[in-house]
């Protein structure tokens, strides 16, 4: 019997066992009949242009409308983590999707604003960051949605949670900076609700600051009646029936309806009920914010009763716990009441000179500070009620400021129109005209000429020097000379008619091209001349342009 090869037999058995197990492993497990397949088949976007060497299909690049829609959907999710991720992703997505944002702005705002009332602080913070980003870059596009913002503010301030109520101040602060903000009744209805919702001094300050910003937008409509074109600046428009002054024309306040006035009354009542929140010794910053709110409210509606507020604020003034800045801000409110002028004077003389000091001194009349050292206070002086004692010094300071500044504002000219001037103001004005008119822009010229026409009555020496100046053809063009003649002859109806006649004759003599314009004004002035001036007009031969 031959020898058996056991190793070869064992090898074949092992191979058979391996193949059997491999086949069993590949068959897989049988699924139950009720099993649901979760595998999805998705279609791939096919791009016509493919790589030259690889047959690879490209995925779409950049922000798409579908991606934006997915983020909006995430913000409406019930899962807090998804909502937070969606709000955060918007900030990185929207800078690359300007056009897509403008198409979906209403849906994005709707998906974001209601999260200001979310219980989760992280979601509220993410919503605040996104809203701040949107308002910072798309404020004009947000203006049409002001009624939507107002409804969200009302819903937020009505919340049971004190933390969520504070979000209304955040949103009101944002819409206060929107262009085309109008004094809607629904906005004024929010103010007393917000003040009543405050539970401590900090919340009172936040609400007061936000309301003050909105009030300042409505307090004075500075540019409503300022003429931008000299052709609109005519005698009938400026003085209908001699009943309207320049100061009234250029400081017209915003007109309020009955509903807005009623809301303001409720606001003052809510503030008085909140006195206990800010009556502590360490609450002077909140009192300062209250004074800013009352000032804005007073500028908007001067018929409110401020006596309760004067008593509450003024009895403890100056506040020992408050800083100099806080006490100065409180002084700006108390200065409305002359009974507190002595207290204010004692306080501001004890602190270093500053812009606020200068403004307060100009208001109470004790103007003993050299204003030339504080030229940066001129813009604030232009909007402050200046006392009669300080008015001449302030008007000279503003005029000096105009001479040195490259850009002249309408606010500065309006202030000069309404203030009482010094005796030599007209000669100083002529110096500014000679320095600025030849090279300044048409808009600047119009402002100067409005100022000239408001300085009535013009003295004879000024008219003589002004006539010689505008008669120089190399310096003053024909159109500008025409405007100068109109500014003096039309609007200054209080100036001596003899001086006006001398002015017109001088310009017509030295500049024949202006003779016809001067002639028309002389014929008009002849009709309105008084008894003492009529003989002068009778001696003039306008055809030969001589005085008989």
What tokens appear for 273 in the block? 């009920």
What tokens appear for 22 in the block? 């491999």
**Neighbour count for residue 473 (Cβ, 10 Å):** 13
Assess contact for 335 and 342: CB atoms under 8 A: no
Residue 545, C-beta contacts closer than 8 angstroms, at least 6 positions apart: 505, 508, 509, 515
Task: For residue 156, give the nearest of 179, 138, 174 by alpha carbon.
Answer: 174
pTM assigned to the model: 0.66
Give the DSSP per-residue string, 427-475: HHHHHHHHHHGGGS-HHHHHHHHHHHHHSPSPPHHHHHHHHHHHT-TTT
How far is it, in rounded angstroms, from Cα 187 to Cα 152?
12
Task: For residue 292, give the nearest of 349, 340, 356, 249 by alpha carbon.
Answer: 356
What tokens appear for 547 in the block? 């005085």
Peptide bond into 457 cis (omega under 30): yes
How far is it, in rounded angstroms, from Cα 212 to Cα 295?
9
pLDDT of residue 242: 38
Handedness of CA 29, 30, 35, 41 (dihedral sign): positive
What tokens appear for 235 in the block? 């005698």
CA-to-CA separations, 2 to 5, 6, 164, in angstroms, rounded: 10, 12, 99
How far is it, in rounded angstroms, from Cα 338 to Cα 203?
31
Cα 506 to the center of its chain, rounded Å? 47
pLDDT of residue 150: 93
Assess contact for 112 and 87: CB atoms under 8 A: yes
> Which run of H or of E encompasses 541?
strand 540-541
pLDDT of residue 482: 86
Burial-class residue 378 by CB neighbours within 10 Å (0-12, 13-18, 19+).
Answer: buried
pLDDT of residue 73: 92
How far is it, in rounded angstroms, from Cα 410 to Cα 408?
7
Assess contact for 89 and 137: CB atoms under 8 A: no
How far is it, in rounded angstroms, from Cα 304 to Cα 314?
18
How far is it, in rounded angstroms, from Cα 171 to Cα 187?
12
CA-to-CA separations, 475 to 247, 434, 481, 528, in angstroms, rounded: 32, 9, 10, 32
Task: For residue 75, give the nearest of 22, 113, 106, 39 by alpha carbon.
Answer: 113
Task: For residue 300, give the nearest of 339, 253, 258, 333 by alpha carbon.
Answer: 253
pLDDT of residue 376: 75
> Which run of H or of E encompasses 174?
helix 167-175
pLDDT of residue 370: 59
CA-to-CA separations, 201 to 166, 193, 212, 276, in angstroms, rounded: 12, 16, 16, 9
How far is it, in rounded angstroms, from Cα 302 to Cα 161?
35
Average pLDDT per consecutive 10 residues, the chain (548 residues; last block may be shorter): 55 72 61 66 53 50 84 91 92 90 92 93 94 92 92 91 90 90 90 93 94 85 37 37 38 66 93 92 89 91 89 89 84 89 85 76 68 70 80 83 73 79 81 73 69 76 86 82 83 76 89 89 83 81 79
């Amino acid at each position: 019997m031959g020898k058996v090869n056991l190793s070869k037999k064992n090898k074949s058995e092992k191979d058979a066992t391996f193949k059997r197990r491999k086949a069993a492993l590949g068959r897989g497990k049988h699924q139950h009949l009720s099993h649901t397949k979760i595998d999805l088949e998705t279609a791939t976007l096919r791009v016509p242009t493919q790589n030259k060497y690889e047959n690879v299909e490209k995925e779409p690049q950049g922000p798409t409308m579908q991606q934006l829609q997915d983020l909006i959907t995430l913000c409406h999710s019930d899962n807090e983590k998804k909502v937070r991720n969606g709000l955060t992703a918007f900030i990185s997505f929207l800078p690359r999707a300007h056009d897509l944002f403008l198409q979906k702005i209403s849906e994005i705002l709707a998906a974001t604003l209601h999260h200001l009332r979310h219980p989760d602080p992280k979601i509220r913070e993410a919503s605040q960051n996104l809203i701040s980003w949107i308002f910072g870059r798309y404020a004009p596009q947000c203006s049409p949605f002001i009624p939507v913002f107002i409804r969200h503010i009302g819903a937020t301030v009505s919340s049971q949670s004190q933390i969520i109520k504070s979000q209304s101040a955040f949103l009101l602060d944002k819409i206060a900076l929107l262009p085309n903000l109008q004094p809607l009744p629904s906005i004024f209805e929010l103010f007393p609700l917000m003040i009543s919702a405050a539970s401590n001094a900090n919340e009172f300050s936040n609400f007061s600051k936000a309301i003050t910003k909105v009030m300042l937008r409505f307090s004075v409509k500075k540019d409503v009646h300022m003429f931008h074109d000299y052709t609109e600046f005519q005698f009938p428009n400026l003085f209908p029936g001699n009943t309207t002054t320049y100061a009234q024309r250029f400081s017209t306040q915003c007109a309020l309806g009955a509903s807005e006035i009623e809301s303001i009354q409720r606001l003052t009542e809510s503030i008085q009920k909140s006195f206990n929140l800010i009556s502590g010794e360490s609450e002077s910053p909140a009192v300062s914010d209250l004074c800013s709110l009352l000032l804005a409210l007073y500028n908007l509606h001067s018929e409110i009763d401020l006596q309760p507020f004067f008593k509450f604020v003024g009895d403890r003034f100056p506040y020992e716990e408050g800083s100099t800045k806080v006490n100065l801000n409180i002084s700006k409110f108390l200065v409305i009441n002359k009974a507190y002028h002595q207290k204010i004077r004692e306080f501001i003389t004890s602190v270093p000179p500053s812009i606020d000091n200068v403004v307060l001194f100009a208001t109470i009349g004790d103007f003993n500070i050299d204003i030339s050292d504080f030229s940066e206070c001129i813009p604030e002086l232009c909007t402050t009620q200046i006392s009669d004692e300080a008015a001449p010094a302030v008007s000279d300071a503003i005029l000096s400021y105009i001479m040195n500044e490259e850009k002249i504002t309408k606010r500065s000219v309006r202030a000069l129109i309404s203030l009482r001037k010094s005796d030599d103001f007209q000669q100083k004005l002529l110096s500014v005209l000679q320095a600025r008119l030849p090279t300044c822009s048409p808009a600047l010229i119009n402002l100067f000429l409005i100022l000239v026409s408001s300085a009535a009555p013009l003295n004879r020496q000024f008219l003589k020097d002004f006539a010689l100046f505008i008669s120089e053809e190399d310096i003053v063009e024909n159109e500008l000379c025409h405007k100068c003649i109109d500014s003096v002859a039309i609007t200054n109806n209080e100036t001596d008619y003899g001086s006006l006649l001398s002015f017109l004759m001088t310009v017509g003599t030295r500049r024949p091209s202006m003779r016809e314009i001067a002639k028309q004004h002389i014929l008009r002035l002849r009709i309105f001349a008084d008894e003492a001036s009529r003989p002068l007009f009778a001696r003039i031969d306008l055809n030969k342009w001589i005085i008989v």
